[in-house]
Amino acid sequence: VCVLIITVCHNIYIFNHFYPYGVGPGDTVNAQSDDDGSSAISLLRPFVFFGKFYNTTYVNNNGHLTFDQPWSSNSPYRFPAHRGRDLIAPFWTDLDNRISGVISYKQYSSGSVLTQATQNINQYFPQLQFTATSVLVATWDRVPYYGENTFQAVLISDGQLSFILMNYGQIFPIISDVQAGYDTDDSSNYFSIPGSFQNNYSVFTYSSNVNVTGRWAFRVDHAHSPAPSLKHAVLLLSSIAAKIFNAEPAPFLVTPTTTHLITSSFTFKGRAPTSCLRFSFKQSSLFCGFNDCDVYI
Ligand SMILES: [Ca+2]
Ligand SMILES: [Ca+2]
């Protein structure tokens, strides 16, 4: 009985933070395809991505959005990549919805979605007094790759300032490469969500940098706009460890390294040698590597 109750509550909780999507709001649905995506989406307001003003975007089936042209890549590279491409990647891997799963999007320029976006951004970035004037919600709903994956990217803009929310629901523990985050053409600005390329992507369902489980928020209009609330990230990473490794008596904390750059370093160890996540946080740079992750503060 306990297990059933926990499962039900768990599922409700995961999807609570999603923006409206699907048939109800009248999303435009991508063609079912392994590697294609949407046609060109004319943005209602320009979306500023680290100084560049974009008027067009594409929601690509393999879990990313591009500007100016569609992109079919199903094989993620690690951020920062220096590949000459501005890329927003909530969950970049070889998704395939030919048999099931719905990929859809909708733009808003008025109504409750703008109110919700305005409230969220002012909560996460309180000094800006931001008012959203356009929102694009892109949703991958139960899209298979091994198992089904549900996640969103929400692009929020007032024509000058711009933000991205990435919302994660159920994510299948894929044994393959996944990159989540964003990267600019020259990688002068990027963020790799901790867990990327670490073969246990259920971590996205439980992590956050804004104290909302399963949500990451980024300001992306201009450089030097670090993700907020590192303390929340640390807090939630601790709770991830507790959830993922709940068979352990308690996740234990190791501080293997301290240099003048690293303020704190954590290692969460699970039962299996493969389920070890290591995150370290540097003050001076924004860098994410294979087995550690440094978050700009
Ligand atoms: Ca694919
Ligand atoms: Ca494929």
For residue 259, report the distance from its CA to the centre of ligand 2, in Å: 43
Q: What is the residue whose two structure tokens read 């048999």? A: 99
Question: Residue written as tokens 């003050």?
Answer: 283
Q: What is the Å distance from ligand 1's center to 95 Cα?
A: 4
pLDDT at residue number 285: 30
Question: CB count, 10 Å around CB of 103?
Answer: 26
Pseudo-torsion of CA 205, 206, 207, 208, nearest 10°? 80
Q: How far is the CA of 37 from the centre of ligand 1 (A)?
A: 10
CA distance to 126, 160, 271, per residue, from 49 (Å):
20, 10, 41
Q: Is the dihedral of CA 80, 85, 87, 91 positive or negative?
A: negative
- Among all bound ligands, the one having the nearest atom to the CA of 30 is 1
Q: What is the pLDDT of residue 174?
A: 76
Residues surrounding ion ligand 2 at CB below 5 Å: 34, 94, 96
DSSP element (H, E) containing 219: strand 215-219
Distance 265 CA to ligand 2 centre (A): 37
The reported pLDDT for the residue numbered 237 is: 53
Question: What is the value of pTM for the model shown?
Answer: 0.76
80 prior amide bond cis, ω within 30: yes
Q: In this structure, what token pair is assigned to residue 27? A: 């999303």
**pLDDT tens-digit readout, 183-229:** 999 999 999 998 899 887 888 998 888 888 899 999 999 864 444 44
Mean per-residue pLDDT pooled into runs of 10, the chain (297 residues): 34 71 97 98 96 97 97 97 97 97 98 98 92 98 94 97 96 89 94 88 87 92 54 48 42 31 31 35 31 32
β-bridge partners, 217? 165
Complete edge-to-edge strand list for the sheet that includes strand 102-108 = 28-29, 102-108, 134-145, 147-157, 162-168, 215-219
CA of 94 to the centre of ligand 2 (A): 5
Which ligand does the CA of 143 lie closest to? Answer: 1
One-letter amino acid of 155: L
- The per-residue pLDDT for 4 is 35
Q: What is the pLDDT of residue 223?
A: 60
| Of residues 107, 130, 108, the one with CA closest to residue 119 | 130
